Structure 1
Amino acid sequence: MTTSPKRLAYSIFAAPIALALAACSGDAGGGAVEEGDPIASIEAPEGQAWTDMVEVSEYGGYVLGNPDAPIKIVEYASLTCPACAAFTQEGAEPLKQNYVSTGVVSYEIRNAVLNMFDLTLAAMVRCGPDEVYHPLSDQVWYNLAALQPQIQQGAQTLQTAGELPEGQRFVLAADAAGFYDFFAQRGLSRDQAAACLSDTENVLAIDELWQEQAEEFGVQGTPTFFVNGGRVDGITWANLEEALQRAGARTE
Structure 2
Amino acid sequence: MISIAFPTKARMTFSLGLIAPLMLAACGADAETGGDEAGEAIAAIPAPDGTSWTETVTVSDEGGYVLGNPEAPLKLVEYASHTCGACAQFSATGKPPLKDDYVSTGVVSFEQRNLVRDPIDLAIATLVRCGQKENMQPLSDQAWGALEGIFQNVQQNAAQYEASGELPVEQRFIAIGEAAGLIDFFSARGVSADQARACLADVETIETIANNSAEQANELQVSGTPTFFLNDSRIDGISWNDVEAALQNAGAR
Pairing partner for 2:195 from 188, 192, 197? 192
Match of 2:229 in 1: 226
Q: TM-score, normalised by structure 2?
A: 0.91
Partners of 2:34 and 2:246 within 8 A in 1: no
Q: Which runs of 5+ in 2 are unaligned?
A: none
Q: In the TM superposition, what is the alpha-carbon distance from 1:161 to its structure 2 partner?
A: 5.8
Which residue of 1 is the match for residue 220 of structure 2? 217
Whole-angstrom CA distance in 1 between matches of 2:20 and 2:7: 23
* Change over 3 Å in CA distance of 1:215–1:238 after alignment to 2: same
Aligned amino acid, residue 151 of structure 2: Q
> In the TM superposition, what is the alpha-carbon distance from 1:18 to its structure 2 partner?
4.3
Distance 1:177 1:14, change over 3 A: closer
Matched, 1:166 2:169: yes
CA distance in 1, matches of 2:196, 2:181: 12
1:143-200 CA-to-partner distances (Å, cap 9, x unmatched) read 2222221133345422246611331111111011110111111111011111111111
Q: Distance in 2 between matches of 1:7 and 1:151?
A: 30
The offset of 1:142, in angstroms, is 1.8
2:229 & 2:155 partners in 1: Cα distance? 31
1:23-102 correspondence to structure 2 within 5 Å: 23-33=25-35, 34-102=37-105
- The yes-or-no answer on 1:140 pairing with 2:165 is no
C-alpha contact (below 8 Å) 1:17/1:116 kept by paired residues: no
Paired residue secondary structure (1:99): helix
Identify if the C-alpha distance between structure 1 residues 65 and 161 changes in structure 2 by more than 3 Å, giving closer, same or farther. closer
In the TM superposition, residue 202 of structure 1 has moved relative to its aligned partner by 1.4
Shift, 1:8, TM fit: 6.8
Q: In the alignment, which residue of structure 2 is the partner of 1:5?
A: 7
Shift of 1:7: 8.1
| One-letter code aligned to 2:53 | W
Supply the RMSD in Å over aligned alpha carbons. 2.0
- Seen in structure 2, the aligned counterparts of structure 1 residues 96 and 114 have a Cα distance that, compared at 3 Å, is same
The aligned runs of 1:97-112 (5 Å cut-off) are 97-112=100-115
Partner of 1:168, secondary structure, is: helix
Seen in structure 2, the aligned counterparts of structure 1 residues 188 and 161 have a Cα distance that, compared at 3 Å, is closer
Identity %: 50
Q: How many residues align?
A: 248
Amino acid at match of 1:211: A
Residue 182 (structure 1) aligns with: 185
